[in-house]
Amino acid sequence: MTVNIVELSASREQLKQVLQNLDAKSCPTCFNFHMHTVHSDGRLQPSALMEQAIAIGLKGFAITDHHSIDGYQAAQSWLENWRWNNPGAKAPILWSGVEINANLLNIEVHILGYGFEPEHTSMKPYLQRRSTTGEEYQAANVICAIQKAGGLAVLAHPARYRRSHFELIPAAAEVGIDGVETFYAYNNPNPWKPSALQSMQVQQLASNYSLLNTCGTDTHGLNLLQRL
């Protein structure tokens, strides 16, 4: 799939603007920046995911399979075909996305990459369907690779790890993270809604360190409006 660099840059700037205006009500029916397909540990085929995204009326989203962009590429092809067959119809924006395991403060965290050039050489080690090791596994290097490819790096679900988000977010900011997944449903409620306390705390930390906010359902099941 050929990527137009000018279009990629414009799309990334559009993403940045979206994240600067995102709030607790943005997800899951307007925007969703965390979801998985059968190309990692999800149950949705990319085509089924796209059908749901259209039906929900999503304005923009990213597929964030673990160490793979196969689901994103399949979805992008589906979306191009849908546009061709539905001229004039309002289509959602699909940004490139991935979820990468990394070491931060000596624990494993997940870093989400958005709006990057999929074919950029810096991303190659992180798109092999498995975690990296050594220097490539360090959070600072994962963040740098995403940014070299023109993307934004975000700390996923910062209140889910063995160390506190009060420690992790400052550490991530120190090594160059662009944003944090602020609005996240830690207890998998139905219907989906972000966890109030954690979201408030993470949003305040994001403000303190001038970081972008994102939101996402972290869908692994068959419904984009739920996590599991």
Q: pLDDT (tens digit, 9 = 90+) per residue, 186-196?
A: 999 999 999 99
* pLDDT band for position 1 (cuts 50, 70, 90): very low
For residue 95, the SS3 value is strand
Residue 2, pLDDT score: 46
Region 92-106: mean pLDDT is 97
Considering only CA atoms, which of 19, 15, 18 is closest in space to residue 150?
Answer: 15
**What percentage of the chain exceeds 70 in pLDDT?**
96
Q: Is residue 49 over pLDDT 60?
A: yes
Region 110-132: mean pLDDT is 97
Between helix 165-174 and helix 196-208 the angle, nearest 10°, is: 30
Considering only CA atoms, which of 155, 157, 210, 213 is closest in space to residue 185?
Answer: 157
Residue 173, pLDDT score: 98
Residue position matching structure tokens 């949705």: 44
Region 158-182: mean pLDDT is 98
Considering only CA atoms, which of 126, 128, 122, 65 is closest in space to residue 96?
Answer: 65
* pLDDT band for position 165 (cuts 50, 70, 90): very high
Choose between 12 and 167: higher pLDDT. 167
* pLDDT band for position 144 (cuts 50, 70, 90): very high
Region 94-100: mean pLDDT is 97
Q: Is residue 3 over pLDDT 70?
A: no
DSSP labels for 131-196? ---GGGGBHHHHHHHHHHTT-EEEE-STTSSSS-HHHHHHHHHHTT--EEEEE--TT--SS----H
Domain 5-215 CATH superfamily: Metal-dependent hydrolases (3.20.20.140)
Considering only CA atoms, which of 155, 149, 162 is closest in space to residue 102?
Answer: 155
Residue 13, pLDDT score: 87
